[in-house]
Chains A and B, each alone.
Chain A
């Protein structure tokens, strides 16, 4: 009897103190420096965005923000670690679309992007742009499709890796237009862009950051973008959906995630601070220089979006026979 009541009292006390800790944490969050985790090497796309907004985010949170790189498996080493981390709000992960793609490649997915995180909000989106060398000939996406159709199996396209957004996008374009091309994977977007510059491959459906400097200098010709509307940084380039891929739109997205179980109040604080930082003209300009358009959201909007993306790319990888193969 005594033992049981002790357990009951202990349990109540534990519950109360746990609740007390949570409230105290909330009242003071953030009371120390916050770490912003990037899942790839310094200088990579998400790293540039994280560093471009970290100062302004620190100002909005009232605490320093330290950017840390934890590269591996297209960002998913860091993502898996975050989902299992302390739900105290001191680790903010800048997640990418790879969380909704690369996670489905291993036989046992390391996490489910929709359910294993506290989802904070969207940061940016970067559509793909199909680039060719000006010497190839085609001056429009329709001409490129014509060329590919007249020479089945002869044209090469590069990608930053098997199962990447750009690989799947080009594959979808080929299927929708009944053309046949050869996939040449490279290690990362910069190498895949160099391959087009050097004339080693004919085209690359590239992420904006590695391609945009060469589009600006005229070394590469942009034929179409993958966003639903024309992309503000390349207003004259038509969309895929308006030309050769009706109904298709896709973009690499970036957003903030925290450990599963992080209290909603903390998520709300970080969401508000991030949205404030993202409204700073300096941040918007730095993002634009890197080829990214700022996008903000509420935690709920972004959570819904992530769930839809996870389902979409899982299905796409299954159709390509790539899901669960690693």
Chain B
């Protein structure tokens, strides 16, 4: 069977000392940088890109790819421990991961996200091995109208992100959509809400927003409330670091669904890991029997998005390599590295460079196993971070945030944004308004608007285009079904008696 040939080709290609070392180096750097707030895969890859000039392209690509998915593992750790998303795609992990840490369950939370990361990645790898070229062609059939309908589905799933009522959630989605309008309007080319500042021409910074709304606001709130003087004892005995049976039972379904959602969104150019994790969370909450438990340290709330963002990160290689269409900025960077080496990504890359393609896929398996092996023993160490007194920890975190945000754009203006969003985030917290729906609105807004207007330009103003295209129609029907489903069984007060609540103070 062809799949086994591919596996054989891949592993034969990748089992050289040099490639294994670069793979290890890549995932290690990625994981480390993912843990550090603000410094994500993008900054790390651009710093290490020059190294690839001195090695063969397949080796370089294995390293760069390792950084990319390694960062997805690391990103959730700071979310769980400190409510500080290491990468925008792990912002959603804060919602249930941080409450788990507050309940003294940081260890199991990291354990579960690590395993979910691994399983999500493996799901996407299987997809790569079996239907990569087919999946890539699916991505090309998505037009502007289809993207619009997909974003609608994302928003419907997202409306359930709110913990304090749907109205507040929708209000914050709307705020996010409005903030997403800042910057250059693609369709007309005009600047909107930039107040004459050239620095706002490309809009607000997603990283600054995620760091400010979650991390900085949490620090302010802890300082104001004096919570920094009361600390939650975290046992680091091995018994307390591993999840209990119930956690595992709760995880299997969400991990599988998260993997499917992530892999699907990862294939589509322009969506990416952030949206995948948000949608997976929203979807899980919609179909949950106990939606009220989400946001209080509910296990499916961390494993579904974690599985999704890793699956998306891995699946994003499909359109990049097989079509030469990079899904996000990191993929564009990866593609440039290949082009500098004279390799043209495209439909022929699998035939013309089988060692490179299948070797890369095989390196995903090895890299993910390495990450799993590296991460599990480190859990105790990560949890120990929480025993550092906040008077040392907070200044360090704030400096790291500033460095990280500055490293992305070399622009002091983005650092200012972090602090503005930090203050806004704190005020929102006081008013029981939540940052997650706002962040999602901000991410989806520009995609929603651009594709809506583009679809109408292409259809010469005919709104019927959204129901005439089969993909768009089915996505709209799916959105309607999701709404109907949750109306039939409204998001009610949660059934109590959940273990996580018994431990909570």
Contacts and interface: CB of A to CB of B under 8 A. Distances in A.
Given A42-B45, A194-B140, A213-B346, 18 more contacts: A42-B42, A43-B333, A47-B46, A47-B336, A48-B339, A52-B340, A69-B409, A72-B198, A73-B184, A73-B199, A106-B191, A162-B186, A163-B189, A184-B458, A187-B186, A200-B143, A213-B324, A214-B346
A71 B202 contact: yes
A51 interface: yes
A274 interface: no
Contact of B201 (A37, A67, A72, A289): A72
Contact of A289 (B141, B340, B345): B340
B340 A161 contact: no
24 contacts: A42-B329, A43-B332, A44-B336, A47-B46, A48-B336, A48-B339, A52-B340, A54-B50, A68-B410, A70-B411, A73-B202, A77-B198, A107-B196, A161-B184, A185-B187, A187-B186, A190-B325, A197-B325, A198-B143, A209-B339, A213-B344, A217-B347, A290-B340, A326-B191
Contacts of B346: 213-214, 216-217, 219
The 9 closest A-B pairs by CB, nearest first: A162-B189, A43-B333, A73-B201, A42-B46, A213-B344, A217-B346, A70-B410, A43-B336, A43-B332
A43 B189 contact: no
Contact of B345 (A105, A162, A213): A213
B457 interface: yes
A167 B366 CA distance: 45
A171 interface: no
Contact of B410 (A44, A69, A74, A214): A69
B149 to A, nearest CB: 15
Nearest to B137: A198
B202 A72 contact: yes
A51 B140 contact: no
Interface string A205-240: 000010011101101000000000000000000000
Interface string B324-337: 11100100111111
A260 interface: no
A257 to B, nearest CB: 16
A273 interface: no
B225 interface: no
Contacts of A194: 140, 269, 325
A42 B346 CA distance: 21
A44 B339 CA distance: 12
B168 to A, nearest CB: 31
Interface of A: 37, 41-44, 47-48, 51-52, 54-55, 67-74, 76-78, 80, 105-108, 110, 156, 161-163, 182, 184-187, 190-191, 194, 197-198, 200-201, 209, 212-214, 216-217, 219, 285-286, 289-290, 322, 325-326
Nearest to B54: A55
Nearest to B331: A43
A52 B340 CA distance: 8
Nearest to A199: B140
B188 interface: yes
Nearest to A198: B140
B335 A43 contact: yes
Given A43-B335, A51-B50, A214-B324, A77 B201 contact: yes
Nearest to B194: A326
Interface of B: 42, 45-46, 49-50, 53, 140-144, 184, 186-191, 196, 198-199, 201-202, 269-270, 323-326, 329, 332-337, 339-342, 344-348, 409-411, 450, 454, 457-458, 460
Contacts of B186: 161-162, 185-187
Contacts of A289: 339-342
Given A55-B50, A69-B410, A214-B324, A191 B270 contact: yes
A106 B454 CA distance: 24
A55 B325 CA distance: 28
A162 B188 CA distance: 7
Nearest to B335: A43
A170 to B, nearest CB: 15
A78 B346 CA distance: 33
Given A71-B409, A197-B140, A198-B142, A105 B340 contact: no
Contacts of A325: 189-190
A219 B322 CA distance: 12
A309 B323 CA distance: 35
Q: Interface majority SS on A: helix, strand, loop or mixed?
A: mixed
Contacts of A73: 184, 198-199, 201-202
Nearest to B269: A194
Contacts of A41: 42, 329, 332-333
Contacts of A214: 324, 346
Nearest to A73: B201
Contacts of A290: 336, 339-340
A42 B49 contact: yes
A47 B184 CA distance: 22
Contacts of A200: 143-144, 458
Contacts of A70: 409-411
Contacts of A77: 198-199, 201, 411
Contacts of A48: 336, 339-340
Contacts of B202: 71-73
A29 B388 CA distance: 46
A84 B345 CA distance: 40
Contact of A190 (B184, B190, B332): B332
Contacts of B329: 41-43
B199 A72 contact: yes
A212 B191 CA distance: 31
A110 B194 CA distance: 14
Nearest to A110: B198
B71 to A, nearest CB: 14
A42 to B, nearest CB: 4
Contacts of A72: 198-199, 201-202, 409, 411
A91 to B, nearest CB: 11
Given A69-B409, A77-B201, A106-B198, A326 B190 contact: yes
A210 to B, nearest CB: 8
A182 B199 contact: no
A110 B201 CA distance: 12
A184 B190 contact: no
Q: Looking at A43, A187, A194, A326, which has the most chain B CB atoms within 10 Å of its CB?
A: A43
Nearest to A197: B140
A216 B336 CA distance: 16
A147 B25 CA distance: 54
Contacts of B345: 213
Contacts of A286: 340
A290 to B, nearest CB: 6
Contacts of B189: 105, 161-163, 185, 322, 325-326
A200 B184 CA distance: 23
Contacts of B335: 43
A198 B344 contact: no
Nearest to B139: A198
A198 B141 contact: yes
A191 B49 CA distance: 23
Nearest to B333: A43
B270 to A, nearest CB: 7
Contacts of B340: 48, 51-52, 286, 289-290
A69 B409 CA distance: 6
